[in-house]
């Protein structure tokens, strides 16, 4: 029986990081790129100050000061109304102006190959628009910080966004078709969420932090049965939990770094039960075996082998 105990007593978590690497690797880069680009654009536009020239009332005009070329409306010496502004480096803005600043609907095109089309207010992007990256990424912004991002690498995100990346509630569709839906913070899965494979099979439902399984959660087998329910730490079974195979309870107790570790109970498919110490997924320490016929054996195990 010792050989069987050793083999069956070792429960290894082979799948703890299945969606974690995907979330951590694919959730952040494009959105964080957007945040940086958007902030740079906003600072650049704001830094231009108030465009204008003195001594003019409302009229169409062409204006050049060496670095800028403007065609459009003026009011009280400032760009107001529809106009087009061209910079010496090739950047252009075409759209609404008010009191010398971008205001209203407009299109800013960078000579570097990216562009933003949408609503401006007092020289700043409001977020209600579309940002087209040079590499083909597209970010569509809406009211209240809700955005839709489509990567040139064929993954996408819809949900909340701020200067740090994905934030609040959102939905991430990965290149392999897998879907994460739930909370985000600083561009990573954070809070309650669900990860589902491309074929619609749910893999994990529970708490995330820093893009990893952290806290209470459920890990599912492909047939929909719960494989593990309990605590996770950094993507691994860790803390109190229950491990099942084909719906049948196999282990209940403490886990450590993905394996049964500490005190727990192992349920053999043959009907006998071991209750006691575990280490690295193997019986280790004081324990008790109760056979299917009710007979009891107490002793000490070391690395899965009963030594006394």
* Residue 130, domain member (yes or no): no
- Phi and psi angles of residue 138, each rounded to the nearest 5 degrees, phi first: -135, 130
pLDDT band at 40 (very low <50, low <70, confident <90, very high): very low
* Residue 281, domain member (yes or no): yes
* Residue 43, domain member (yes or no): no
Best-predicted range by mean pLDDT (17-21, 35-39, 237-241): 237-241
- Tokens 């061209």 — which residue? 86
DSSP β-bridge partners for residue 93? 85, 108
Q: According to the model, what pLDDT value does residue 53 have?
A: 41
User: Closest by alpha carbon to 17, among 236, 241, 256, 261?
Assistant: 236
Cβ 72 vs Cβ 97: under 8 Å: yes
Phi-psi domain of 199 (left: phi exceeds 0; alpha: psi -120 through 50; beta: other): alpha
Q: pLDDT at residue 10 above 70?
A: no
* Residue 219, domain member (yes or no): yes
d(CA 160, CA 167) in angstroms, rounded, equals 5
Instruction: State pLDDT tens for residues 240-281.
Output: 999 999 999 999 999 999 999 999 999 999 999 999 999 999
* Residue 284, domain member (yes or no): yes
- Tokens 């006394």 — which residue? 308
User: Closest by alpha carbon to 204, among 235, 239, 168?
Assistant: 235
Q: What separation in angstroms does the CA of 60 have from each of 63, 84, 118?
A: 10, 11, 24
Q: According to the model, what pLDDT value does residue 34 have?
A: 44
Domain count, the chain: 1
* Residue 249, domain member (yes or no): yes
Q: How many CA atoms lie within 13 A of 133 on its CB side?
A: 21
pTM over 0.85: no
Above pLDDT 70, what percent of the chain?
A: 78
Lowest mean pLDDT among 66-80, 104-118, 270-284: 66-80
Q: What is the chain's length?
A: 308
* CATH number (domain holding residue 247): 2.20.110.10
Mean pLDDT across the chain? 80
- Tokens 């008790």 — which residue? 288
Q: pLDDT at residue 140 above 60?
A: yes
- Supply 146's token pair: 């809700």
Q: pLDDT at residue 30 above 60?
A: no
Q: According to the model, what pLDDT value does residue 44 have?
A: 41
Instruction: State pLDDT tens for residues 151-189.
Output: 999 899 999 888 788 889 999 999 999 999 999 999 999
Q: How many CA atoms lie within 13 A of 26 on its CB side?
A: 24
What value does the mean pLDDT take over residues 128-157? 87
Query: Helices marked H in 115-157 — which ranges?
Result: none
SS3 114: coil
Cβ 221 vs Cβ 231: under 8 Å: no
DSSP of 258-295, one letter per residue?
A: TEEEEEEEEE-TTS-EEEEEEETTEEEEEEEEE-TTS-
pLDDT band at 150 (very low <50, low <70, confident <90, very high): very high
Q: According to the model, what pLDDT value does residue 78 have?
A: 86
What is the helix, strand, coil percentage profile of the chain, to 5? 10, 55, 30
* Residue 33, domain member (yes or no): no
Q: What separation in angstroms does the CA of 162 have from each of 107, 264, 282, 295?
A: 22, 44, 46, 62
Domain that holds residue 268: 1-16+213-308
Above pLDDT 90, what percent of the chain?
A: 60
DSSP of 26-88, one letter per residue?
A: HSSHHHHHHHHHHHHHHHHHHHT---B-SS--SEEEEEE-SSEEEEEEEETTEEEEEEEEEET
* Residue 275, domain member (yes or no): yes
């Amino acid at each position: 029986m010792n050989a069987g105990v050793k083999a069956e007593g070792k429960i290894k978590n082979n799948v703890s990081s299945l969606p974690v690497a995907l979330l951590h690797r694919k959730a952040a880069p494009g959105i964080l790129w957007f945040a940086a680009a958007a902030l740079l654009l906003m600072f650049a536009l704001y830094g231009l100050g108030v465009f204008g020239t003195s001594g003019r009332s409302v009229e169409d005009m062409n204006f050049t000061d060496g670095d800028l070329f403007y065609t459009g409306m003026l009011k009280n010496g400032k760009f107001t109304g529809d106009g087009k502004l061209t910079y010496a480096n090739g950047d252009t803005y075409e759209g609404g102006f008010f009191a010398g600043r971008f205001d209203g609907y407009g299109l800013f095109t960078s000579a570097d190959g990216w562009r933003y089309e949408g609503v401006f207010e007092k020289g700043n992007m409001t977020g209600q628009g579309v940002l087209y990256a040079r590499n083909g990424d597209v970010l569509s912004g809406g009211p209240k910080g809700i955005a839709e991002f489509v990567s040139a690498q064929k993954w996408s995100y819809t949900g909340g966004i701020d200067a740090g990346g994905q934030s609040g509630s959102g939905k991430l569709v990965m290149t392999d078709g897998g879907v994460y839906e739930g909370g985000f913070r600083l561009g990573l899965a954070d809070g309650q969420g669900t990860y589902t494979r491309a074929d619609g099979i749910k893999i994990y439902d529970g708490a995330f932090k820093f893009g990893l399984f952290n806290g209470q959660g459920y890990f599912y087998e492909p047939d929909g049965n719960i494989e593990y329910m309990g605590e996770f730490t950094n993507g691994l079974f860790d803390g109190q939990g229950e491990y099942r195979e084909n719906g049948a309870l196999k282990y209940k107790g403490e886990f450590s770094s993905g394996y049964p570790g500490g005190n727990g109970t192992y349920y053999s498919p043959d009907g006998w039960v071991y209750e006691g110490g575990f280490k690295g997924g193997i019986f280790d320490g004081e324990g008790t075996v109760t056979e299917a016929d009710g007979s009891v054996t107490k002793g000490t195990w070391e690395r899965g082998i009963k030594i006394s």
